[in-house]
Amino acid sequence: FLVISPNFKADQTLFTSGELGIYKSEDSGKNWEAITRDTQIATLGDLQIAVSPNYANDRTLFCGTNSGLFQSTDAGKTWSKLITSLDNPDPYIEAIAVSPDYAQDQTAMVSVRGYGLFKTSDSGESFQSIGDTQVVMSRIWSVPSSGRAIVFSPDYATDRTVYGFGSAKHQVYRSQDGGETWSIIDIPYLEEPKPELLESISIAAFVYAGFLKRILIFLVIVGGLTYLCFRQKQIKHVS
């Protein structure tokens, strides 16, 4: 990942991941420091980071991993582990999102694999499970190379709207009450697989199988001719 500070014009700060966890640059990418070198984060995988929109003042970072959620309130110098009350002390973090109005509402949402969606309204001091855990939305799977799985509306302070991406059917969800309830958004181009696609796959497989068959026949013929030539030479040699 590559995350840019919301105050980049002033602080020139970037974050990315590497061998030692999270790396930070304060000179627009010219130099980098491994800010999690001596922490547990350096040994974990599937890192993702979310920066507070009020980073210039609160210096807050959230880091999701395959073994827990971490927070820093001093620009990455120190880290503390969050959501430790689950029966699994090292949950897999699928997605993180921070409210655009974080300076006032202190709100962030986290999707935890196998547990659903959690929300904090006190800057990470506590998290509450939200939404219906029986709904697929309770597991917002991260999607490589396609943006964030949870997104706050820029006007979240007034419209309380959050969007999420989840389920094996690639459904998009929307909440208009801060994440308490969710509804599926009907998007026409997100369709089920069509027969034509399966037919195309079958045709491709048939053509490929035919190609392999021709290759095998060719190898058999070449092998046979080679063997015959070899035998003929042996016979001549013996005679």
The span from the CA of 37 to the CA of 172, in Å, is 37
* DSSP H helical ranges for the chain: 8-11, 55-58, 102-105, 156-159, 195-238
Does 76 or 231 have the greater pLDDT score?
Answer: 76
Range with the lowest mean pLDDT among 54-58, 149-153, 158-162, 216-220? 216-220
- Which of 140 and 193 is assigned the larger pLDDT? 140
pLDDT above 90: residue 234? no
Distance, CA of 42 to chain centre:
18
Token pair belonging to 88: 């699994």
Q: What is the pTM of this model?
A: 0.74
For the cut 60, the answer to whether the pLDDT of residue 136 exceeds it is no
- What local confidence, expressed as pLDDT, does residue 173 receive? 86
Give the model's confidence band at 192: pLDDT under 50 very low, under 70 low, under 90 confident, else very high.
low
Give me the pLDDT at residue 187, please. 72
Model pLDDT for residues 59-99, shown as the tens digit of each residue: 999 999 999 999 999 999 999 999 988 888 889 998 899 99
* C-alpha–C-alpha distance, residues 206 and 200, integer Å: 10
- Alpha carbon 89 to chain centroid, angstroms: 21
* Amino acid occupying residue 87: D
Structure tokens that stand for 126 in this block:
């506590």
Task: Give me the amino acid identity at 185.
Answer: I
* pLDDT of res. 197: 46
Could you give the dihedral angle defined by the CA atoms of residues 78, 81, 82 and 84, in that order, rounded to the nearest 10 degrees?
-160
Domain covering 2-185, topology: Methylamine Dehydrogenase; Chain H (2.130.10)
Average pLDDT over all residues of the chain = 80
Alpha-carbon separation of residue 70 from 28, 65, 184 (angstroms): 25, 8, 30
